[in-house]
Amino acid sequence: MIPDYQTFMLPLLKLMSDGRERVFADVCEILADQFGLTAEERQQLLPSGFYPTYASRIGWARTYLSKAGLVESPKRAVWKISPAGLQFLKQNPKELTSKALEQFEAFRTFKNAGKRGAEPSEPGANEAVAPIVRLESPDEALIRLHQELDSALRLELLTRIKSVPPSFFEKLVVELMLKMGYGGSREDAGQVVGKSGDGGIDGVIKQDRLGLDTIYLQAKRWEGSVGRPDIQAFVGSLAGHRAKRGVFITTSSYSKQAIEYVTSIEARVILIDGEQLAALMIEHDLGVSAAATYVVKRVDGDYFEW
């Protein structure tokens, strides 16, 4: 198990107690060895998928030690223990947490500079409130909060979709396909069928701007699981149109038999459930708009070279 960022703080400070200047990559490797992290744990990435989790946590441990004045950077990308850090280690501390760092005025100043005095990774001063949050680095906390907001938005989208008329839903799925890059434009590529005698087809869209192939759509607002018979009926409609590609979209989910069925037929049929539908709408800005934007900035080390 990868330690939380606070667990890394004291070992990191002790590692630097020899006074040597060290680059961050070397520190990460040494600490990973000390904690016996496996190859799989070292390869584990943050939910964003761009940075190793253990390195992120060590990075935040270093940041907090720096804010407390226990480590310092004599030059770009190089770190060493400070006189204050050496003095602190003489006390032979058994552990080190962000709460313990509050004994240093520099860290208190840093902490109070945040919103209402709370650290980015903590819910507030009350340790009894969701203490597990303290195991997260600020990067991880921001990603988690974003995922929670995204999950709530998906739920709200599905609720709204289930309340609109069937004709609106059919137009919505065609609009989504266009947003995803199929067909080029609504005028020449997207066509909503959705009328009596449509043969089980709710929409037609070109696969590409040249119209080399056609994709048939079926959109169903269901509460229960969509079963194999429903997918078989859709495949039958495709055969009636001499079509080889189709997309079945529902606001609910699919049974195991339905999912297995589409893998055994010649026609190419894609199943999109409610969760995927909402996620695709968010990704392609359909039915949603930006409420707020938060930019997370870091110091540009190149700027301070001299």
**Secondary structure of 106-153 in HEC code, one letter for each residue:** HHHHHHHCCHHHCCCCCCCCCCCCCHHHHHCCHHHHHHHHHHHHHHHH
Of 31, 13, 22, which Cα lies nearest the Cα of 84? 13
Q: Give the pLDDT of the chain (306 residues) as one tens digit per residue.
A: 899 999 999 999 999 999 999 998 899 999 999 999 999 999 998 876 778 899 989 989 999 999 999 999 888 778 999 999 999 999 999 999 989 999 999 998 888 875 443 444 332 223 222 333 346 677 777 887 887 788 888 888 888 888 888 888 888 888 898 888 887 666 555 566 555 445 567 778 887 766 678 888 988 888 788 999 999 999 998 888 888 899 999 999 999 999 999 999 988 999 999 999 999 999 999 998 887 777 777 666 666 554
Residue 118 pLDDT: 40
Residue 5 pLDDT: 92
- Distance, in Å, from the CA atom of 32 to the CA atom of 26, rounded to the nearest integer, reads 10
> Which residues, 6 or more positions from 242, have their beta carbon under 8 angstroms from its beta carbon?
none
Residue 304 pLDDT: 59
Angle of CA points 165, 237, 247, to nearest 5°:
60
**Residue that is written with structure tokens 């998906």 in the block:** 154
280 membership: H or E segment, kind and range: helix 274-283
Angle of CA points 28, 62, 142, to nearest 5°:
95
CATH of domain 5-115: 1.10.10
203 in Cβ contact with 191 (< 8 Å)? yes
55 in Cβ contact with 27 (< 8 Å)? no
CATH 1.10.10 domain locations along the chain:
5-115
Task: Report the Cα–Cα distance between both ends of the chain, in Å, rounded.
Answer: 41
- Distance, in Å, from the CA atom of 168 to the CA atom of 179, rounded to the nearest integer, reads 16
- Distance, in Å, from the CA atom of 215 to the CA atom of 201, rounded to the nearest integer, reads 10
239 in Cβ contact with 261 (< 8 Å)? no
- Name the CATH code of domain 165-272 (choices 3.40.1350.10, 3.65.10.10, 3.10.180.10, 3.30.70.260): 3.40.1350.10
**Residue that is written with structure tokens 């110091």 in the block:** 299
For 254, list phi and psi in degrees, rounded to 5: -120, 145
Residue 104 pLDDT: 94
Helices (H) and strands (E) in the chain, counts: 12, 8
Residue 45: DSSP 8-state: B
CATH 3.40.1350.10 domain locations along the chain:
165-272
- Distance, in Å, from the CA atom of 119 to the CA atom of 123, rounded to the nearest integer, reads 8
